[in-house]
Amino acid sequence: MKKIILISFLLLGISNNYSQNITNTLGSSGLFNIKDGSTTFLTLSQANGNLSLSNSLMLPSTTDQSTGVIYKFGVRFIHNFENPGSEGLNTFVGLNSGNFTLGGIYSWNGSNNTAVGGLTLSSLTTGGYNSAFGVSALYSNTTGIENSSFGYNSLALNTNGSGNSAFGVSALSFNGTGSANSAFGSNSLANSLSGSANTAFGWSSLNSNTTGNSNSAFGSGALSWNTTGSPNTAIGNAAMNLNTTGKENTAVGYRSLWSNVSGSQNTAIGDSALFYNLGNYNTALGYNAGSNVTTGANLTLIGIDANPSSPTAIDQITLGNIYVSSLRCNVQTITSLSDKRDKKNIKDLCLGLDFITRLKPRQFNWDKRDWYENGISDGSKMQETPTAGFIAQEFDEVQNSEHSEWLDLVLKDNPDKWEATPGNLFPVIVKAIQELKQENDELKSEIENLKKENLAEIQNLKKELVEQIKMIVQDEDADIKFSSAGN
């Protein structure tokens, strides 16, 4: 049978003016109850040492370290410390969570904070409206306000940075004074020190960022090594993964701008677009577009596998890959800059008909080396339908012999793949036509002069003939003579 011991003097509130020790020993399986009639308020079990309350545990608001605090292992564990006169509304749960010195001159200082986890918000002074969940979350925060931290060590070193949101283990863990950052994912923005207005979503995204500002990273490893570069946008797994100081870049797609370190003002959209890029001012749109670019600059590459003439090319536009066979548009010409005010040393072109007549228009069938795995064409993949055009090497031979390499009829950036620019012949063709026109005009003039000379001669013959006929009419024995040539 359970032994019940009632200690009535505890309920009667006997007062004494001297210290006393009260020791009660429960027998095996005994219970210590405090009750009022049939209502039991408290029970202590000898069998397991558990203390049970049938109603609420009433604790006063915590205004110092000895009031309304639940301790564990001798350290504060649960309390809601509020500085007298402040708004309060704090909740601290966890070993050494919060402290007993926070507050300030304004009612909101040190108020409206929620912390759950060991060491959470334990350094707080005047900061308010902070939420910390996880061991060491917002551990060093002192004056920072409106921060939200969820995860072990998240925003752990933040001191006065404000308006930050961190979700994940060590997210924004080294941030000290940076504000308005958002990090979602383990180690996201983990090393950011004072950078502000950064957004990182994904594991290790913007992981190494220190002072870079206004960066946006969405995807695992996106902008993972960025340190001071600003403001970059990377969307996709490993997008701009190696970027450190590059600025004003935009990468959308898995591994887009992956190798970029310090290149700036690049735009890559598509899986692996500008993958090896180290240059500046490049734009690539499409899967693998610009994937061979290294230090090239001011390149525009549109379409799957669209790549420039060489990895180091500059100032080029490439439309499509090697399989594109048509360029379609509602107009047939491209408008280009041609303002006289932007040109100097203007003079008549010296190349014309003689240059054009040396060119060799050809008919041929494409059999590109790129179509073969070993890069050697053997005719097995040759296109059946022929086409017309020029040979780059023949172009080069003519422009070299005429000392007119400045025409840029041949692009040799890639020694293994020469390219031709027949469009640069347009002024020469116009000059050739003008020369033909001049020759034609001269011939017409000569013909007209000959016609006039012949007409005059015929008219003289006619006049002489008329005179001779008159003489015959007047004198039948007259001797007829003609003074014209050929008589």
Q: What does the buried/exposed string (b/e) look like for 170-203 if buried means 16 or more CB atoms within 10 Å of the residue's CB?
A: bbbbbbbebbbbbbbbbbbbbbbbebbbbbbbbb
Name every residue whose Cβ is closer than 8 Å to that of residue 208 and which is 6 or more positions away in sequence: 190, 191, 224, 225, 226, 227, 244
The position carrying tokens 């500059």 is: 314
pLDDT digits (tens, 9 = 90+) for 46-88: 999 999 999 898 999 999 999 999 999 999 999 999 999 999 9
DSSP 111: -
**Quick check: 3 pLDDT over 60?**
no
Nearest to 226 by CA among 197, 247, 201: 247
Mean pLDDT (the chain) is 91
**Quick check: 477 pLDDT over 90?**
no
Share of the chain above pLDDT 90, in %: 81
Residue 467 binned pLDDT confidence (cut-offs 50, 70, 90): confident
Hey, where are the domains in the chain? 4-53
Give the whole-angstrom CA distance, residue 399 versus residue 408: 9
Nearest to 1 by CA among 20, 40, 19, 27: 27
**Quick check: 217 pLDDT over 90?**
yes
> With left for phi above 0 and alpha for psi between -120 and 50, is residue 81 left, alpha or beta?
beta
Q: How far is CA 428 from the centre of its chain?
A: 43
Can you spell out the DSSP letters for 87-101? ----EEESTT-S-S-
Nearest to 318 by CA among 303, 339, 333: 303
pLDDT digits (tens, 9 = 90+) for 293-349: 999 999 999 999 999 999 999 999 999 998 898 999 999 888 889 999 999 999 999
Pairing of the two strands 233-235 and 250-252: parallel
Can you spell out the DSSP letters for 15-59? --SS---------TT-EEEEEETTEEEEEEETTT--EEESS----
**Quick check: 481 pLDDT over 60?**
no
Give the whole-angstrom CA distance, residue 240 versus residue 191: 17
**pLDDT for residue 300:** 98
Least confident of 103-117, 225-239, 318-332: 318-332
